[in-house]
Amino acid sequence: MNNLINRIHFDGILYLTNRVVSRIPSHMIRLFFYRYCLGLTIGTNSSIFMDAWFDSKKNFNLGKNSVINQNCRLDNRGSITIGENVSISSEVCILTADHDLQSCDFTGRLRPVNIEDYVFIGTRAMILPGVTLGKGCAVAAGAVVTKSVPPFTIVAGVPAKPIGMRQTNLQYRLSYRRLFY
């Protein structure tokens, strides 16, 4: 009985988060809920736009001056750590859980995703479990990142491959504050 009550509570919080709170057009209300009801760590001056989808409570750290645009899927079951001044475009999918396709019982796995400072991720990119995106790297729109990306490397394609390099002296500070989003 206790397990059933805990399950209803957990699933209810996630339903409320993803179907109601994520659609409230007030950044302050959403961030308050994410911090104090989900236990997410969100740095100062960071933004999470409407319709972000979380798969779990906790296991999520967002650094200062970072932005997550609308309609992003954030599978934080295996832990997502995002640095400072990171720009995540709309409809990005970050996964931390998968299944071992070589396992006879289709074993589930959790592997963290780490995104270091000054990373840019383009629209509809997908970051797979266990990946680290090094400082200052950039992921092109629509790319599927299956392996870790070295610092300042630009990747594109399916699967993502290096196509160039970014400057190593990045110093910008992101700020996407709007009243309604």
Report the chain's mean pLDDT, rounded to a whole number.
95
For 85-129, the pLDDT digits (tens) are 999 999 999 999 999 999 999 999 999 999 999 999 999 999 999
Q: What residues pair up with 32 in beta bridges, in sequence order?
A: none
Fold of 2-165: UDP N-Acetylglucosamine Acyltransferase; domain 1 (2.160.10)
Specify the pLDDT at position 180: 66
Average pLDDT over residues 18-37: 95
Is the distance from CB of 50 to CB of 41 less than 8 angstroms? no
Confidence of residue 4 (pLDDT cuts 50, 70, 90): confident
Contact present, 80 and 73 (Cβ < 8 Å)? no
- Dist. CA 84–CA 66, nearest whole Å: 6
Looking at residues 44-50, what average pLDDT do you find? 95
Report the distance separating Cα 8 and Cα 21, nearest Å. Answer: 18
Active site residue 99: yes
Model-level pTM?
Answer: 0.95
Q: For position 9, what pLDDT does the model report?
A: 85
- From the list 99, 109, 147, 161, the catalytic residue is 99
Taking residues 50-70, what's their average pLDDT?
97
What pLDDT score does 6 carry? 87
Domain spans of the chain, in order of start: 2-165
Share of the chain above pLDDT 70, in %: 98
pLDDT number for residue 2: 83
